[in-house]
Amino acid sequence: MIIQLKESISDSQKDSLIAEVNKIGYKTTEVKTQLGDYLIGIGKKDFDIRKIGQMEGIQDIHIVSDEYKLVSKKWKVSPTTIDLGDGVCIKDGDMAIIAGPCSIESEDQIKKVIAHLQESGIRMMRGGVFKPRTSPYAFRGMGIEGLKLWHDLASAAGIKIVTEVMQVSQIEEMYPYTDVYQVGARNTQNFNLLDELGKVDKAVMIKRGISGTIEELLQSAEYVFSGGNEKLILCERGIRTYERASRNTLDLNAVPILKAKSHLPVIVDPSHGIGIREYVPQMALAGVMAGADGIIYETHEVPEKAYSDGQQTLDFAQSARLADWIRKTFEMRKGFELL
């Protein structure tokens, strides 16, 4: 159960409410987010919702039987909009395009990517300065200095930054230079990181874990939400299966399922999803048709020379064509109301 508390609720009203909820055998947790105060009740017994609903200090009450609560559509029917400022939004009914290299490599590279994004009308740039690499000997990113440099150039161009945070200690140093904190697939269940991102007032995009279920992704989002931060984006980036012909198995089933279960926007990452450059565009368009609210993909001036993930990275001409097709496909999807 989720109880949204009125701002005006008094301490004694809250105490009586908690006592009443405990009496029916439900454990309670208080959650304060940047937008409201809630009381989450966890339990299984049937009870008469009217009895609690009539109590003083309550704004709204819902029974949400899902394991995740606040990110559930059973709690909030209207889709959540992520507003990054300057007219850049990620939201239902719109198509966000986020493009950029796997890793931020140099000032020259950043400038070239920004020029390409500007030409293609893309307002969000991805790129890692802290890179989770399977091998400790691989390029692990330019670090915070790279992010500062990137931020100077991107903000002058009106482009928003989407970048991975790997550990709690990076959150604060990244804060002034980051628009969307990306939680990578290897960190989806790093609960300390999720807790701390709950305290931040900037958007967080959570990737699906390498072997994570849809339910686990939603539970990870619930961590950040219940920690206080409602600005969340979910990202399907492929899961590990027995299939070896592609890097991962892009689970496009997850898109309509996540959209049905949660009010949060859903983004698809076809680059990591399939891991093969030639097939990224069609998987991106499939993601659009599956109902995604945005696509995130990798692009680089010379993909063959990229420090990481070159094999799945588009060159700028391919990226420009894909951005165009993403928009065209999205227009087509709007007219596709089969159900």
Q: Is 263 in the site for ligand PEP (CB under 6 A)?
A: no
Binding residue for ligand PEP, selected from 185, 254, 283, 314, defined by CB under 6 A: 185
Calpha distance 153→120 (Å, rounded): 17
Token match 């989806």: residue? Answer: 188
Cβ proximity to Mn ion: between 179 and 309 the closer is 309
Residues 195-214 that bind ligand PEP (CB under 6 A): 207
Q: How many residues bind ligand PEP (CB under 6 A)?
A: 9
Q: Contact between 239 and ligand PEP (CB under 6 A)?
A: no
288 with 261: CB under 8 angstroms?
Answer: no
| CB of 274 vs ligand PEP, minimal distance in Å | 12
x/- track of binding to ligand PEP for residues 99-118 (CB under 6 A):
---x----------------
Strands (E), the chain: 2-5, 27-32, 37-42, 58-62, 82-85, 88-90, 96-100, 124-126, 160-164, 180-183, 203-207, 232-236, 266-268, 294-298
Q: Which entry of ligand PEP, Mn ion, none binds 151, CB below 5 to 8 A by partner kind?
A: none
CB of 144 to Mn ion, least distance (A): 19
The values of phi and psi at residue 12, to 5°, are -70, -35
Pairing of strands 96-100, 37-42: unpaired
Considering the complex, state which of residue 184 and residue 303 has its C-beta at the smaller distance from ligand PEP. 184
Q: Least Å distance between CB 223 and Mn ion?
A: 24
Is 236:255 a contact under the CB 8 Å cutoff? yes
- Chain centroid to CA 309: 21
**Residues engaged in binding ligand PEP (CB under 6 A):** 102, 128, 132, 184-186, 207, 237, 272
